[in-house]
Amino acid sequence: MKPTIYNVASKAGVSIATVSKVLNKTGRISEGTRRRVVEVMEEMGYQPSVIASALTGKSTFTIGMLIPDLANPFFAEVARSAEDRGHELGFNLVMCSTDNDPAKEVDYISLLKQKSVDGIILSTVTTNHSTVKDILKLNIPVALIARDMPTLAVDTVIVDDFIGGYLAAEHLIELGHRRIAVIAEDMNVMSSSERVRGYRSALEENGLEYDDALVKESDFTIQGGKLKSGELLDSIHSPTAIFACNDLLAIGAIQAARERGMQLPRDLSVVGFDNTILASIVEPPLTTVAQPMRDMGRHVIDLLIQEIRGLKNQKQRIILVPELVVRGSTSKRVHTGNQ
């Protein structure tokens, strides 16, 4: 049987209150008894029960993390980093993949509540903010990662998606491209629409016309990217460059081009977003807008834990700046004379 505080107390010849005090370093206990109690604890291999402690109103030292998909390289990386930072600070993470399904989100949150997690990290796409509001209403600490809800007072860590989109488009424009398509994820999600807005802004600043026909929406899979890119490439005025709103979509674009016998980057330039491990591995290596995934994971945890500890009155929004990583999937536009 696992030893309890009672076992330790009786073996050390003190009361459980004393043991509790040495455990939490609260109250005053003489150095002598402290040492003896510690000794006994080690002897017995005593480990306090977080469960029991939590029941008296203390922390559970666990955080719930809701992300679309743990197997997605971007989120896996962010999660790993968050896990590391949490561990440093004594917190464990419960991972919940929602597939962007509101029902799953609600379900997971309900479970996490029942388990009295100390806080929740959220990367949700719900258009209505009810999920987040519900959590806030319950007064449980939340932090958003990679997803913005500017109208809500909630800790947030994101990348400046507008700038990201801008950088991508600007890079392509500088390379001489004029027909630049974009494959977006769900445009109802801010991070996605912001990227497109940045793209559009770069276009306009450079005197290029924004063309709706060049903007496609897709789910966030390679397949989706391939499909939509295919449509673009098969259209009358096919683009000479594609800005895909994440690396997966960009890889889909590359595959679609390949299937059509195109040479990259000669016949088509492709820019991705995220800079996941995939970007460095595809052929050609993907030019992409890098999100600092490790930093992001670290920051959310720090924000959330500050919140949990009540060290903060003010909500904070950390907006990181993305960086363009130029690799081999983009190059100067080749003038074919057909436009």
Which residues would be at the binding site for a second copy (CB under 8 A)?
A: 2, 47-52, 54-55, 60-62, 69-71, 73, 76-77, 79-80, 83-84, 87, 92-97, 108, 110-116, 138, 251, 277-278, 281-283
Pick the closer one to a second copy by CB: 76 or 320: 76
Pick the closer one to DNA by CB: 23 or 208: 23
Q: Is 265 exposed, middle or buried (0-12, 13-18, 19+ CB in 10 A)?
A: buried
3-state class (DSSP) for residue 121: strand
Rule CB under 7 A: is residue 150 a binding residue for DNA? no
Nearest one of 95, 87, 133, 90 to 111, comparing CA atoms: 95
Interacting positions 47-66 with DNA (CB under 7 A): 48-49, 52-53, 55-58
Interface residue with DNA, options 10, 24, 188, 280 (CB under 7 A): 24
Q: Which does 95 bind (CB under 5 to 8 A by kind): a second copy, DNA, none?
A: a second copy
What is d(CA 275, CA 250) in angstroms, rounded to the nearest whole number?
A: 11
CB of 121 to DNA, least distance (A): 24
CB of 96 to a second copy, least distance (A): 7
Rg (the chain; Cα; Å): 26
Does a cis peptide bond (omega within 30 degrees of 0) precede residue 265? yes
Name every residue whose Cβ is closer than 8 Å to that of residue 274 and which is 6 or more positions away in sequence.
73, 74, 246, 247, 288, 289, 290, 291, 293
Rule CB under 7 A: is residue 21 a binding residue for DNA? yes
Nearest one of 151, 95, 147, 143 to 307, comparing CA atoms: 143
Side by side, which strands form the sheet with 241-244? Answer: 215-217, 180-184, 241-244, 269-274, 287-290, 323-325
CB of 167 to DNA, least distance (A): 49
Pick the closer one to a second copy by CB: 48 or 230: 48
CB of 260 to a second copy, least distance (A): 16
Residues that bind DNA (CB under 7 A): 2, 4-6, 13-18, 20-21, 23-24, 26-30, 32-34, 48-49, 52-53, 55-58
